[in-house]
Structure 1
Amino acid sequence: MRATVVTAEAGCAKGVLHRHFKDFDDLLVELVHDHAGRVKTRGESLRAGTGTVAGNVTTALEALLTSVAVSILPLITFRDELRARLRQTWPTGLPILTEAAAQIAAYLAAEREVGRIAPDTDVDTLAAVLIGTGHLMYADRRADPPTAEAVHATIATALAGTERKGPGPKRPVPEEA
């Protein structure tokens, strides 16, 4: 990730960043925390959705994987100090994807509760599969991103056998404790 992308995301000049962060990894930790918070907010919106399960998950994955967040993932993978700092909050996985998997699992669990997902569905495993598959579709930053139709077809295939048809009821968003 180039500094210009980071400064554009932060909405400030490069010099301002050096005054607020001790080093580049410190800035990236804050950026990852910020994006993880956005993923959590999107997860709450996802649980309030009324579309099909495949449509709702497709929308959530597209929002996640077309954002600057996907550009941060290689940095987490290749910067040892950054990974070490992030392990204080996320002991396993890639932080933004780990949070997204948790939010999709919570959404799928809510859908299971209202009968739109089969009662025996392992939502944690299914969420991980959906995140991993979605990430693979978007990971090549040199090619054009996949079309919404391709993403939806992939999600629908992964959900085949678990999804019950129909838009289902609108559910209230759970309040934070």
Structure 2
Amino acid sequence: MSPRGVAIPDLRERLFAAAERVVARDGALALTSRAITTEADCAKGVLHTHFAGLDEFVAELVLDRFARSARQAEALDAKVGRGTVTANLQEVVLALLEALPPAVVGLAMTRPAAALHTRQGFQAGAPAFDAIQQAFTAYLGAEQRGGRLPAGTDTASIALALVGTTHHLLMTRVPGDGEGLGATTGRLLAVLLGSAGTAAG
């Protein structure tokens, strides 16, 4: 256990990752401040030193994971013209689903104080699904301008459909079912993009 008074590098991420492990292993009801700090191998009171309480902690965890997911979506810029459009989008969607455990997101929706803090974060400009949708739209537009998607492709509607499905899968998926998610997102992208999405750069 970390000694009292010694700074812990990347403490927020350490606590966030510990909370995700607790929820994945023991369920949402097992998530307590003590369970988190025990899992993170930190002093018992360290969570309350950095967060007002468990509700704020849960909200900040969700906001952090949404921000990380938005950065992953924005990284699609580097993939323009490389691989296939379908594979590039599928990789990001699956990463988004892994970055946002449904049980953790559910916690933020079912705990009123956590839900309020999360909403306030989004209202203050924290990235959410709208930022991810914009990143998808920008990527598809770039691929269209590069000739890898037909000129008449409705990139905004494809991005909206993809984000809407991702949101649905996020709230309903079975943890650990990566193979099933891969098949589902593959079928969706085949419908949305057709054969154009499988053309390699």
Query: Normalised by the size of structure 1, how large is the TM-score?
Result: 0.71
> Which whole-Å CA distance do the structure 2 matches of 1:46 and 1:125 have between them?
18
Q: 1:123 to 1:149 in 2, by over 3 A?
A: same
Q: How many residues are paired up?
A: 163
Where structure 2 has 5 or more consecutive residues not aligned to the other structure, the ranges are 1-27
- Is contact 2:102-2:173 (8 Å) kept? no
Where structure 1 has 5 or more consecutive residues not aligned to the other structure, the ranges are 169-177
> Which whole-Å CA distance do the structure 2 matches of 1:130 and 1:79 have between them?
28
Does structure 1 residue 167 correspond to structure 2 residue 200? yes
Q: 1:148 to 1:165 in 2, by over 3 A?
A: closer
Structure (1 or 2) with the greater helix fraction: 2
> Which whole-Å CA distance do the structure 2 matches of 1:154 and 1:16 have between them?
44
Q: 1:99 to 1:19 in 2, by over 3 A?
A: same
2:53 is matched with which residue? 23
1:119 is matched with which residue? 151
> Which whole-Å CA distance do the structure 2 matches of 1:142 and 1:62 have between them?
12
- Is contact 1:39-1:99 (8 Å) kept? no
Corresponding letter in the other structure for 1:51: G
Among 66, 69, 79, the alignment partner of 1:39 is 69
Corresponding letter in the other structure for 1:100: I
Q: 1:58: how far off?
A: 0.7
Query: Normalised by the size of structure 2, how large is the TM-score?
Result: 0.64
Does structure 1 residue 3 correspond to structure 2 residue 35? no
DSSP 3-state at the match of 2:104: helix
Superposed CA RMSD = 3.2
2:22 is matched with which residue? none
Tell me which structure has the larger Cα radius of gyration: 2
Among 133, 148, 153, the alignment partner of 2:187 is 153
